[in-house]
Structure 1
Amino acid sequence: MHQISPEDLASILSGDPEELDVHLQLVEKDFPIKDCSARFHCHCLTVDANGRVKPDRLAEFMRNAIVNYAIPKSRLDEARARDAKYKSGSAVAALHHEALGTFTDLKNSGEGGEMLLYLLAERFLKIPQVLCKMDLKTDSRVHYHGADGVYASVNDDGILKLFWGESKMYADPTAAVRDCLSSLAPFLIEIDHEGANRERDLVLLSDKADLNDPNLTSAFKKYFNKSSTLSNRVEYCGIALIAFDASFYPPNSVKAVADQVLKAAKNEIEKWTKSVAKRLCAEKLQSFDVQFFCVPIPSAEGFRDTFFEKLGINT
């Protein structure tokens, strides 16, 4: 195997895409951003038949997927095989416990946003994670220095599109857009050299990438071998996510109406996309393929606390 096909990468996706729809309602998909190559996607929390939004359920859904996020694919596959052989669940359960231990207990942690980005990248965009950053952490109380995630797809011309992920979960959407794209920009626009922000992740991709198949992993790593011509067939792209406070969700004691929440979110799309377009231009990212996720929630701080509560972590 020399070059990787779209089917190769699709084969390593994990999880049921429809499960995402239980917790997140699609507001807008592939919304164009004026004068930019970026595409804008918006989700809000679903409203159930009782008129409730359930951020706790979203947090539990995220918690239940942490093994796929935080454990390399080959290790998880080995654990599944062992459990199948011995008709047990202990090997995967042990990895779940290990995955929990990789999350930090720092109060200002952005790992909830990073986890949400992972789920939307894999289950909505169908772009798989190719570098498991949580497995690279040497201390759970220290954030991994690099992008919030690394994902990859292959286009029809055989170009490997490498997506650097960045997420911010703030109360204010404008601040979230600013800081998210400011953090993402160096990974896309810097010239390749040893001091570039992306260099450490590129080195790790050439060594630590895990696509759950030795031949596929070997072929993938060739794209990051500086002595291989395939290294010239990598396009740098971005996946950005912001989650922020939205006032259109009613208080807990008031029933929400799904259509009204959806309509309120749609009414804000133009304002949000203008803010994103302005920042993309300021960061010189107009020509880059950036998949931008916008997730308005009742409270960014409240959701961060809820997510870590579900993980059993006291912040």
Structure 2
Amino acid sequence: MSVPAISPSVLQTALEALCSDHSGFDDHFRRLPFAWPADGSLVNGDFLHPLFGADGADMDALVEHIYRSLIPFCLPRGEVKKVTKAALAAGDIHPIIALADRARELFVRTRGATTAGGEAGELILFLLLEALIKAPLLVSKMSLKTNSNMNVHGRDGIHLRYCPSLNGLVLHLGESKLHKGLAAAVDDAVSSIEQYLGDRALRRREFDIINGNMDLSGLDAESEQHLRAVLNPYASPPSPVHRTHTCFIGFEYGGYAKVAGIDSTKVEAEFQRVYARRAQTAAPLILEKSAKLPATTRLHFFVMPFPDVDSFRTTFSQKLGVQID
């Protein structure tokens, strides 16, 4: 089957336009200037940290910001656009409020009240992929989970983008791990990827889900036709699509205590200085642990420290209106 031709720049622009509005992202997520070791591997990443307020890392502000992503994370893009457009045209905000309520209820129901605090990592991963990488969500697994007959276990997120440097499409297969320790979080992520790569049935089921449930609402007809042809797992010959296992790694970090009490105008710069030293040891650790995966495995790590992981889980769950164990 021939794949309909399309200009790479047109495809890239069309895909990036599918990303939700994440205004304010740069006010809540800071990137640490850091160059990963050029060791020839396919491992890369970003070291991030939350916004600092007058009393240290502002976790309340972070929770409020990621909570705003519940609607595009949980609900199909086309439905959100249709309801929002009609509501704005009618000057009636109640349908939008109803969307937010349904997204929250879906998130809590599919995740379970006892684990919702840990699932904040999936929401952060979604936000980072769309706002930072410009890779829109391809499959809304949350909405699929309302169908109890559908097995949608697998990656924590499936996103898609066009990469000029690779001259092709990249599927970002998400992993989200939030642990007390950095090493444990990386181990958990690598183990999950290793299991995925070693399970053909799981991989086929994942791509069957993609093939049958791509959320391409908003794309022009040319781009949609091209993507459906390229991502068809039954096409012969199959089209080349790059796969990057993209991991959010959240861990508890004592560096916040080292900058406690510093003037609010200087604290973020001092924290970045302390955090940069940690990144110098964290990157080799991640590379070492990733070495157990096949050398052809593309990996991207978003590494983010928290002052207190349990406190973050609790704050997020309180925002959702649930309790966690």
2:168 to 159, 166, 170: 159
- AA aligned to 2:247 is A
Does 1:27 find its partner at 2:32?
A: yes
Once the two structures are superposed, the pairs formed by residues 257-268 of structure 1 within 5 Å of their partners are: 257-268=267-278
Whole-angstrom distance in 1 between the partners of 2:64 and 2:276: 27
Structure 1 residue 158, shift from structure 2 partner? 5.0
- 1:90 aligned residue: 94
Q: CA deviation at 1:230?
A: 7.2
TM-score, normalization by structure 1: 0.88
Deviates more, 1:165-174 or 1:5-14: 5-14
C-alpha distance in structure 2 between counterparts of 1:119 and 1:196, whole Å: 29
Q: Distance in 2 between matches of 1:37 and 1:77?
A: 37
Match of 2:194 in 1: 185
Partner of 1:123: 131
Q: By how many angstroms is 1:246 displaced?
A: 0.3
Distance 1:226 1:127, change over 3 A: closer
Residue range with higher mean Cα deviation, 96-105 or 220-229: 220-229
Distance 1:244 1:114, change over 3 A: same
Deviations along 1:182-232, whole A, 9 cap, x unmatched? 212344x458xxx43222221111111112136344442222324434732
1:299 aligns with: 308
Distance 1:173 1:27 in 2: 17
Counterpart of 1:281? 291
Alignment deviations for residues 39-69 of structure 1 (CA, whole Å, 9 cap, x no partner): 1200112223x24321111011111121011
- Larger deviation, residues 7-16 vs 175-184: 7-16
Partner of 2:255: 248
| Structure 1 residue 305: Cα displacement | 1.4
Match of residue 217 from structure 2: 212
| Aligned mate of 2:202, from 154, 176, 197 | 197
Matched letter for residue 114 of structure 2? K
Structure-2 change in CA distance of 1:200 and 1:28 (3 Å): farther
**1:185 maps to amino acid:** E
Residue 72 (1) aligns with residue 81 (2):
no
Aligned residues: 307
Moved more, 225-234 or 288-297: 225-234
Instruction: Report the secondary structure of 2:193's partner residue.
Output: helix
Taking the aligned partners of 1:118 and 1:29, their CA distance within structure 2 comes to 22
Residue from 156, 161, 175 that aligns with 2:184: 175
Distance in structure 2 (CA, Å) of the matches to 1:275 and 1:260? 24
8 Å CA contact retained: 1:33, 1:273:
no
1:75 and 1:297 map into 2 onto residues whose CA distance is 34
Say yes or no: does 1:146 pair with 2:154.
yes
Cα RMSD of the aligned pairs, angstroms, is 2.6
Mark the CA change 1:168 to 1:144 in structure 2 (over 3 Å): closer, same or farther.
farther
Mean Cα deviation higher: 165-174 or 275-284? 275-284
1:242-286 Cα shifts (integer Å, max 9, x gaps)? 1110001129984562122111110001211111101111122x4
Alignment partner of 1:197: what SS?
A: helix
SS in 2 for 1:43: strand
SS state at 1:232 partner: coil
Question: Residue type of the partner of 2:153?
Answer: H
Structure 2 gap segments, 5+ residues each: none
User: Runs of 4+ in structure 1 displaced over 6 angstroms?
Assistant: none
> Aligned residue for 2:105?
101
Q: TM-score, normalised by structure 2?
A: 0.85
Q: Percent identity?
A: 22
1:240 counterpart letter in structure 2:
C
- Measure, in 2, the Cα distance between the counterparts of 1:41 and 1:86: 42
Pair 163,69 (structure 1): closer, same or farther in 2 beyond 3 Å: same
- CA displacement 1:1-21 (0-9 Å, x = unmatched): 65572112111011235x122
The AA in structure 2 aligned to 1:307 is F
> What secondary structure, in the 3-state scheme, does the structure 2 residue paired with 1:250 have?
helix
Q: Which whole-Å CA distance do the structure 2 matches of 1:280 and 1:153 have between them?
A: 23
Correspondence for 1:8: 14
Decide which moves more: 84-93 or 120-129. Answer: 84-93
Are residues 213 and 229 of structure 1, via their aligned partners in 2, closer, same or farther at CA, if it must alter by over 3 Å? farther
For 1:9, give the aligned amino acid: L
Contact kept, 8 Å, 2:208 with 2:233, in 1: the verdict is: no
